[in-house]
Amino acid sequence: MNESVLINATYFRNRLSELGLKQWWVADQIGVDRKTVSRWLQGQVRSAQIDNVRRLCEVLACQLNDVVLGNEADSFATVEDQKTAANIMLNSSLIEKLGAIGEWDAIEGLLRSCLIPSLSKITLCDLYNQLTIALWRQSKIDDAQEFCQKAEALSRSQGDWQLLGTALLSKANILCWKGRNKAAIETYREVLDLKNYISRSDYGSALSNLGALLYEVGDLKRGLEYLDDALECFVLEDKIMSQSINWWHKSYIYLQMGLLSQSLDSLKHSRELAEKSDYRRGLCACDLLQAELLSKCGDVKESKQMLTKAMTGYQNLKIEEGLNYEFAGRINRENCDYQESLASIDRGIAISQDFPLCLANLHFERAQTLRSLSAQTNEIDRHLNLARDLYLQSDAPLRAASCDHKV
């Protein structure tokens, strides 16, 4: 009977590198499939038949004891190793760096791998908070809500107000996604009330997110005021990516106010900071907003090129959101490309059914495009009524009122 033994994958990898051997050549010498050697090296298959291991020893010019593990536990990380890895993960800049380039799925995988029962409650709560962020950044809202609730409950039970502030910040963001904007505003203010306990960065994020939400529901002036206060925090903390996001929001507010010069200036700041921090999503957002500014200035050709660049960039990052299609629909309409406008808006509506405020904006934009096409009044009114109802559902009465007189 050909017994099996455990392979020391670490020694195997090191010896292979030391001798400069190729995996495929080793597989041929032993007489096994090339994928088998790859699985041994990666630890995906931990055992092998003794005859194959003896042939491997001949190829590597080593002793059997070098390649064979005496105890399978020797190949696994210990509980202490996992605890150390979790703390290193939380205290390093890896999450911030991966987040800047949109690798939130990689962050999610790394954080999930750190979740083990023997972690301290504070470390576990911190992991829950970071995992929540990674999930909602990927639009995995229900999963994000699950871990956010765990983080909030654990931080409250421990009386850790700093971790509670982070959990509440994510909770408010999730409430925004779900269109519960009144509750979101109240939750952001809860975070601001914890100013003495939370980091300046989290305080700035609460100010910035609250400012963005206020203008999204139609209160442009107050939104701008909160964004100005947030920017001071981000500058003091040298949060380059957050500064970029903040300037983008301000640029969009100025655009809605009809202040094109201020909008262009703010967008320039946002783009410079996005480039500095390698914030790829932010660069796509800048392209999208610039496309609309170009259309407002009557530069149709440049506007179309910039819109294509923006949407291609989002596609490369595997980001598909209703907001992007709202922009595309509006820009195409302003460039008199009405069929493209409707196609973009319809795609946005299809993917935004769970996000009522975004859905309201899309129906509002569809009404505008139909008006430009001289469509039947009842069809225009249908989309305006849908938009109005969704705005009211999303606690956005100022936006709802705009449905009565803007077409």
3-state secondary structure of 8: coil
163-193, pLDDT tens digit by residue?
899 999 999 999 998 889 999 999 999 999 9
Instruction: Please identify, among 28, 52, 75, the residue that sits at the C-terminal boundary of a domain.
Output: 75
Burial of 254 (0-12, 13-18, 19+ CB in 10 A): buried
Domain end call among 21, 47, 75 = 75
Range of the domain at 375: 345-407
pTM of the predicted structure, to 2 decimals: 0.72
Q: What does the pLDDT average to over 141-156?
A: 89
Instruction: Give residue-wise pLDDT tens across range 37-87.
Output: 888 887 778 788 999 999 999 999 999 888 887 665 444 445 555 555 555
Bridge-based pairing state of the strands 47-49 and 68-69: unpaired
Q: Report whether pLDDT(222) > 70.
A: yes
| Predicted local distance difference test score (pLDDT) of residue 77 | 44
Handedness of CA 246, 252, 255, 256 (dihedral sign): negative
Which residues are paired to 5 by β-bridges?
A: 48
Q: Enter the tokens of residue 322.
A: 């209703």
In this structure, is residue 179 part of a structural domain?
no
Structural domains in the chain (count): 2
Most confidently modeled range among 1-5, 122-126, 183-187: 183-187
* Average pLDDT of the residues of the chain: 88
Nearest to 245 by CA among 234, 255, 254: 234
Cα Dmax for the chain = 86
pLDDT for position 78: 53
Element (H, E) at 51: helix 50-60
For residue 235, give the 3-state DSSP assignment: helix
Beta bridge partners of 68: 7
Per-residue pLDDT, averaged over 370-374, amounts to 93
Residue finishing a domain among 75, 96, 122: 75
Band the pLDDT of 118: cuts 50, 70, 90: low
H helical segments located in 217-321: 220-236, 240-257, 260-276, 280-296, 300-316
